[in-house]
């Protein structure tokens, strides 16, 4: 078992989360991730995926469970998630979900947030909402100060754009928190949840 928390890339987290669904070989991982359009969030190539799986194996987060060959194709090693790997996904999401400084990591954390229970997700997103609110206040104060000093708008377009992005993100986060607070909004994996919710292994 690893003695320290592993440092994971967003792609590594996506691989571990995928193996929570079923054992797979890297070729199938690439196919499923691309079919789900997860390459919108991170770059996915055969080379990076195989390298990532190799690193996860070294970190004892995944384990080899079989090797198969079809025709003249190269052997394909199937991997399964270890308990350490299962915990690593949850720990990473817990760390990244309340953050508002790394949009690429947040997108992956949000995509895998269903691995946490509803109450914890609400708490983590509430922390992020508060951070966004503070960030928005800082931007508004900066823009107000710049206006008082007569700074031309041409030097403020990037700051103004960021203000709009924060406001949009904040409104979206508030809406999601409202939806999560409603028991009718299904969350997490239950006995009624199919093992492949997007139907991509059929």
> Going residue by residue through the chain (202 aa), what tens digit of pLDDT does each one get?
444 457 899 999 999 999 999 999 998 999 999 999 998 998 899 899 999 999 999 999 999 998 876 666 667 899 999 999 999 999 999 999 999 989 999 999 999 999 999 999 999 999 999 999 999 999 999 999 999 999 999 999 999 999 999 999 999 999 999 999 999 999 986 545 544 555 544 3
User: pTM higher than 0.95 for the full model?
Assistant: no
**Within 10 Å of residue 31's Cβ, how many Cβ atoms?**
13
């Amino acid at each position: 078992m690893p003695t320290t928390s592993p440092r994971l890339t967003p792609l590594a987290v996506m691989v571990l989360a995928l193996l929570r669904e079923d054992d797979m070989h890297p070729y199938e991982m690439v196919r499923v991730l691309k079919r789900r359009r997860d390459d919108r969030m991170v770059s996915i190539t055969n080379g990076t995926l195989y390298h990532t799986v190799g690193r996860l194996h070294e970190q004892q987060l995944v384990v080899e469970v079989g090797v198969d060959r079809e025709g003249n194709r190269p052997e394909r090693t199937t991997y399964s998630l270890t308990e350490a790997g299962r915990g690593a996904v949850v720990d990473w999401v817990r760390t990244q979900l309340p953050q508002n400084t790394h949009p690429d990591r947040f997108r992956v954390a949000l995509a895998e947030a269903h691995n946490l229970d509803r109450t914890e997700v609400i708490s983590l997103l509430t922390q992020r909402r508060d951070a966004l609110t503070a960030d928005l206040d800082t931007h508004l104060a900066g823009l107000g100060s710049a206006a008082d000093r007569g700074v031309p708008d041409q030097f403020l377009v990037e700051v103004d754009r960021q203000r709009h992005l924060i406001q949009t993100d904040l409104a979206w986060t508030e809406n999601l928190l409202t939806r999560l607070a409603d028991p009718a909004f299904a969350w997490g994996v239950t006995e009624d949840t199919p093992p492949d919710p997007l139907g991509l292994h059929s």
